């Protein structure tokens, strides 16, 4: 499964987390120092959804931001006939 939103194109972004140690100088310490830099990946929150696309129902991968914004129209509920 692709890690990219089919609507807006949002995908994984590389970044990093910095861990610091020590009390800041203005708080009375000797200053904060960077101890470690770790690379990480920020991944989008993707859901697989049935959507109404080009007069047909299709399964698409969509980020939750697009779902909440209403950029995806869901198909109408199926009608079942009762067997008697």
pLDDT digits (tens, 9 = 90+) for 12-27: 999 999 999 999 999 9
Are the C-beta atoms of residues 30 and 22 closer than 8 Å to each other?
yes
SS3 at position 54: coil
In which region does residue 22 sit, left (phi positive, over 0), alpha (psi from -120 to 50) or beta (all else)? left
Contact 41, 13 (CB under 8 A): yes
The tens digit of pLDDT for each residue in 31-73 reads 999 999 999 999 999 999 999 989 899 999 999 999 999 999 9
Determine the 3-state secondary structure of 49 from DSSP.
Answer: strand
pTM to 2 decimals? 0.70
């Amino acid at each position: 499964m692709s890690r990219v939103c089919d609507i807006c194109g949002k995908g994984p972004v590389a970044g990093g987390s910095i861990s610091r140690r020590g009390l800041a100088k203005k708080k009375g310490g000797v200053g904060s120092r960077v101890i470690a830099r770790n690379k990480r990946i920020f991944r989008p929150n993707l859901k697989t959804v049935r959507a109404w696309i080009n007069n047909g129902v299709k399964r698409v991968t969509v980020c939750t931001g697009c779902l909440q914004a209403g950029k995806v129209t869901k198909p109408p509920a199926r009608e079942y006939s009762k067997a008697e």
